Amino acid sequence: MKEPVRYSSVLQDFIHPLLNEKDTDEIFLSKFKVAEVIWNYCIAKEFHLPVFAELEKIITQQNDLDREMKLVFDTFVESKETYFKQYKNFITKVEYRIKADGSKSLYVESVHPSEFLKNNFMSKLGSKEKPAVVRVQTEERAKELLEICEQNGWQVIVGIEPEKEENTSDVRKLQKGLGLVSKFQMPPSKNAPCTCGSGKQYKRCCGK
């Protein structure tokens, strides 16, 4: 019987050229989040998944802001099509987990595009027929959620009830269903200050 593909290993092989042994846990995970978005862009494009437009928008915005990101994106899209074409699953979760013995491992969940479409991850909730329903305590928070939903084309009903606990689970489900990271970030560019707080440029510190 054919063994199931371990997408945690596949994704590590995919992102390996970008990794550095001096990466902090934060930078390590941020690189895998970038790999997740680029990977899912390729899968969504190949299988015409409904999330493709959203992924393309996020990547285009990031590429416009950072020329280095455009080079990284082009390199990894080519790598996916050349060396990882046989792997077809859409990545739905990437986490960095600490085991009982203190060791760390990458945890990845994925789903085949046919299952993605079958389960209809994002076309039901947030549609006109089934709008997301959320409850918040302030008008400011309501405006924030309305803006998020408008940007993503989601239909939403927002109730303001100051005395009740906030409930935004429907919006969180929509965000999770996209299989996207809420903040799409590349590790800092070579000339940017290092995120470790040393005050040095990234290329002269953790980016060596």
Q: pLDDT digits over 7-43, tens only?
A: 999 999 999 988 888 888 878 888 888 888 899 999 9
Helix (H, G, I), strand (E, B) or coil at 96: strand
Reference 35, options 173, 179, 141; nearest CA is 179
pLDDT digits (tens, 9 = 90+) for 182-204: 333 444 555 556 655 667 766 67
**Residue pLDDT, tens place only, 126-163:** 877 778 899 999 999 999 999 988 988 888 999 999 99
Q: What is the pLDDT of residues 164-188, one digit of tens each?
A: 889 988 888 777 655 443 333 444 5
- Output the six-digit token pair for 106: 């990458």
Q: What is the pLDDT of residue 184?
A: 39
pTM above 0.85, yes or no: no
Contact between 168 and 144 under an 8 Å Cβ cutoff? The reply is no
